Amino acid sequence: MAERPLEGRVTLVTGGSRGIGAAISQQLAAAGAKVGVNYTANREAADAVVAAITAAGGEAVAIHGDVSDPEAAGAMVDATEEAFGDDLWNLVANAGITRDNLISRITPEDWDRVIDVNLGGTFHVARAASRKMLRKKRGSIVTMSSVVGLHGNLGQTNYAASKGGVIALTKALAKEVGSRGIRVNCVAPGYISTELTDVLNDEIRGILLAQTPLGRLGEPEDIANIVRFLLSDDAAFVTGAILSVDGGLGM
């Protein structure tokens, strides 16, 4: 792989200011990409990621917007292009939320919000980005599913449904745009060390580790490394793929 395989390529990372998204933003910038770091509410976190990237000699800008809003999704893509004065090359549709509960206790509002952000948000930004890419006949999109989207999980029917939908969306979109030189792939992380997993008690953590052949939780960088590869020309013949990055948990 080239040292900077994404040199100069304008890239939007939704949910790019925290956790896995922050690691992706920084990894792609280190690979030469010009990164739009999307955030919804926490401008301070986005600014911190941008500052870390620029301090390391990269290029990044904070991009505000709620992916569940179709107009905002389009505006994010436009703002990223305007910030760097160049056409969008890559999209990482990473933004997502959880509202976990048993199905008997999930409210319609919590169902709708998870679907709207995780699945609807992926659709909105992929739609806006692919329109740009189709005109150039090149580009790469990486969506973010989950081991839960592949195998389900207790208390996460809304999240599992949204992430399973992302997998189906990825495959369908890959078939639609492949003939125009655009690749679309999906990463399905397992349990990663972020704020979401920090709250797990020792018993639950022990169960997860016992079920994971590699015997550890993943790190955000484990996901970022795969995203960087999928966006690069080293993955030029990879599209419609669903890559599980879960330490073997899903086997």
3-state secondary structure the chain: CCCCCCCCCEEEECCCCCHHHHHHHHHHHHCCCEEEEEECCCHHHHHHHHHHHHHCCCEEEEEECCCCCHHHHHHHHHHHHHHHCCCEEEEEECCCCCCCECCCCCCHHHHHHHHHHHHHHHHHHHHHHHHHHHHHCCEEEEEECCHHHHHCCCCEHHHHHHHHHHHHHHHHHHHHHHHHCEEEEEEEECCECCHHHHCCCHHHHHHHHHHCCCCCCECHHHHHHHHHHHHCHHHCCCCCCEEEECCCCCC
pLDDT of the chain, 251 residues: tens digit per residue = 568 999 999 999 999 999 999 999 999 999 999 999 999 999 999 999 999 999 999 999 999 999 999 999 999 999 999 999 999 999 999 999 999 999 999 999 999 999 999 999 999 999 999 999 999 999 999 999 999 999 998 899 999 999 999 999 999 999 999 999 999 999 999 999 887 676 667 777 788 888 899 999 999 999 999 999 999 999 999 999 999 999 999 88
List residues with catalytic annotation: 159
Domains annotated on the chain, with CATH: 10-244 (3.40.50.720)
The pTM of the full predicted model, rounded to 2 decimals, is 0.95
